């Protein structure tokens, strides 16, 4: 798996930071800029910013010398996320991905570097997960969103029709011309399982290009981490664990320079006739997942962690663990409830702390 340092595009990144520096000089004048430079001698302090972006609570925590040096890069990072939302959101009718789903049937369409990168990564994870992760899931997502609204299950015929349009092998990417072709008219792309992780990566890259090294980006549970806070071993991250043991004795890890993402049905699910169906869908049968639980993945970058966390929610546990073991720098912690019993699993590279807590608490 390639890391974002080598492969991920960074359009506008340097430009955005240069704009920020220029705005800083112009808006504050030279004297206060000199004052700011002197302030850099002071130890950096934590600053937190949050906004609703990509349909979730997006939080940036960073270390900087003062409020100005913290807020300008943070705003530039939010601007970058906003730009990505315009490209990747399935909820914006004029987003690039929505227009692509309408236009790219049997004709190769040129797309932005960002969209191409996310689709390329999506196809890699689809292949590795044998289709458990599939961004052509859109028609099924629409059905299950309607089910959550009406509290009624989709009809079998509706599921069969939508499922027929879901298959990542019907996406053709051409890296030479940076084009995308969709093989079926009824296909609909949905990047909900991967776009937030990518946005978190890009926000962190932008902060780094502005000279901010210690930062945490939390895109609603998809977390990307920069260097550790000054003088600390890392960022304290509490692992989402919906089991009773997880609530009683939560496991906390100290991490830096990695990404960590959790997928699960804790918040978005529909209950019909006593059965709970998740917003995460198994492309193999078109059904919302019924085994409740969560999958947490640590990976070198957010795009990988986000996509893998969704894939591992769908896959049977042994297959999911095999998949993360095969990816360099990836590790997973899976919580599942099957037949009323909660169980915890972790891959070899996952930090031992969580297992130790479960051994003591279970």
Q: In whole angstroms, how close is the CB of 152 to ligand AMP at the nearest point? A: 19
Of ligand AMP, Mg ion, none, which one does residue 280 interact with (CB within 5 to 8 Å by kind)?
A: ligand AMP
User: Which listed range, 17-25, 46-54, 135-143, 296-304, lies at the site for ligand AMP (CB under 6 A)?
Assistant: 135-143
Three-state secondary structure call for residue 83: helix
Do the bridges between strand 275-278 and strand 56-64 make them parallel or antiparallel, or are there none, so unpaired?
A: unpaired
Q: How far is the CB of 117 from Mg ion (least distance, A)?
A: 16
Question: Which ranges of the chain does DSSP label H, i.e. alpha helix?
Answer: 4-7, 13-39, 67-88, 96-103, 113-128, 138-150, 156-164, 195-209, 244-248, 302-314, 317-325, 353-361
Token pair 């994870």: residue: 125
Between 209 and 263, CB nearer to Mg ion = 263
Question: Does the protein bind ligand AMP through residue 137 (CB under 6 A)?
Answer: yes
Task: Tell me which residues in 224-253 interact with ligand AMP (CB under 6 A).
Answer: none
Q: Tell whether residue 193 is a contact of ligand AMP (CB under 6 A).
A: yes
Q: What token pair was written down for 327?
A: 């990816």
Answer yes or no whether residue 321 interacts with ligand AMP by CB under 6 A. no
Query: Binding residues for ligand AMP, how many (CB under 6 A)?
Result: 17
Residue 281 sits in the site that holds ligand AMP (CB under 6 A): yes
- The CA distance from 323 to 147, in Å, is 31
Which residues are within 8 A (CB) of 204 and not within 5 positions of it... i.e. 6 or more apart? 77, 215, 217, 224, 225, 226, 302
Q: Is 114 in the site for ligand AMP (CB under 6 A)?
A: no
State the Cα–Cα distance between residues 25 and 241, nearest whole angstrom. Answer: 46
Query: Among 134, 201, 240, 301, which residue sits at the site for ligand AMP (rule: CB under 6 A)?
Result: 134
Angle at Cα 188 formed by Cα 185 and Cα 194, nearest 5°? 150
Task: State CA 196 to chain mean position distance.
Answer: 4
CA dihedral 178, 133, 260, 199 (to 10 degrees): 30
Distance CA 260, CA 252 (A): 12
280 part of the interface to ligand AMP, by CB under 6 A: yes
Regarding 294 and contact with ligand AMP (CB under 6 A), the answer is no
Which residues within the stretch 257-276 sit at the binding site for ligand AMP (CB under 6 A)? 263
Cβ proximity of 346 and 294 under 8 Å: no
- Residue 149: CB minimum distance to ligand AMP, A: 14
Binding residues for Mg ion (CB under 5 A): 193, 306, 309-310
Indicate the residue among 111 and 193 with the shorter CB distance to Mg ion: 193
Of these, 139, 192, 286, 300, which contacts ligand AMP (CB under 6 A)? 192
* Partner from ligand AMP, Mg ion, none contacting 192, C-beta within 5 to 8 A by type: ligand AMP
Residues in a beta bridge with 224: 217, 259
| Residue 357 sits in the site that holds ligand AMP (CB under 6 A) | no
Q: Name the packing angle between helices 113-128 and 96-103 (round to 10°).
A: 70
Decide: is 128 part of the binding site for ligand AMP (CB under 6 A): no
Residue nearest to ligand AMP (CB): 192
CB of 119 to Mg ion, least distance (A): 15
CB nearer ligand AMP, residue 205 or residue 265 = 265
- Out of 69, 190, 201, 241, point to the residue binding ligand AMP (CB under 6 A): 190
Answer yes or no: are the C-beta atoms of 336 and 278 closer than 8 Å: no
- Contacting residues toward ligand AMP, per CB under 6 A: 133-135, 137, 141, 190, 192-193, 263, 279-281, 283, 306, 309-310, 314
């Amino acid at each position: 798996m390639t890391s974002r340092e080598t492969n991920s595009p960074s359009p506008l990144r340097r430009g955005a930071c240069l704009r920020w520096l220029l705005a800083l000089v112009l808006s504050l004048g030279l004297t206060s800029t000199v004052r700011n430079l002197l302030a850099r001698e002071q130890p950096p302090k934590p600053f937190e910013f949050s906004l609703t972006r990509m349909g979730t609570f997006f939080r940036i925590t960073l270390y900087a010398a003062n409020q100005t040096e913290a807020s300008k890069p943070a705003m530039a990072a939010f601007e970058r996320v906003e730009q990505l939302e315009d490209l990747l959101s399935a909820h914006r009718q004029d987003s690039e991905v929505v227009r692509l789903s309408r236009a790219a049937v049997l004709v190769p369409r040129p797309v932005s570097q960002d969209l191409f990168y996310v689709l390329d990564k999506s196809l890699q994870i689809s292949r590795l997960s044998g289709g458990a992760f599939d961004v052509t899931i859109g028609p099924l997502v629409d059905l299950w969103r309607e089910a959550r609204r009406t509290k009624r299950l989709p009809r079998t015929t509706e599921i069969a029709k939508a499922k027929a349009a879901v298959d990542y092998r019907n996406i053709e990417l051409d890296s030479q011309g940076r084009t995308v072709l969709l093989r079926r008219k009824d296909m609909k792309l949905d990047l909900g399982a991967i776009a937030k992780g990518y946005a978190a990566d890009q926000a962190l890259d932008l902060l780094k290009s502005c000279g901010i090294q210690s930062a945490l980006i939390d895109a609603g549970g998809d977390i990307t981490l920069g260097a550790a806070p000054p003088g600390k071993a890392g960022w304290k991250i509490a692992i989402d664990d919906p089991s009773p043991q997880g609530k009683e004795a939560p496991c906390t890890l100290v991490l830096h320079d990695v990404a960590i993402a959790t997928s699960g049905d804790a918040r978005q699910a529909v209950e019909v006739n006593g059965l709970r169906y998740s917003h995460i869908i198994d492309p193999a049968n078109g059904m919302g997942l019924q085994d409740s639980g969560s999958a947490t993945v640590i990976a070198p970058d957010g795009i990988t962690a986000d996509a893998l966390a969704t894939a591992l929610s769908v896959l049977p546990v042994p297959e999911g663990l095999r998949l993360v073991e095969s990816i360099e720098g990836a590790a997973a912690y899976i919580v599942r409830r099957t037949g009323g019993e909660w169980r915890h699993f972790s891959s070899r590279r996952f930090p031992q702390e969580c297992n130790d807590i479960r051994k003591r608490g279970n």
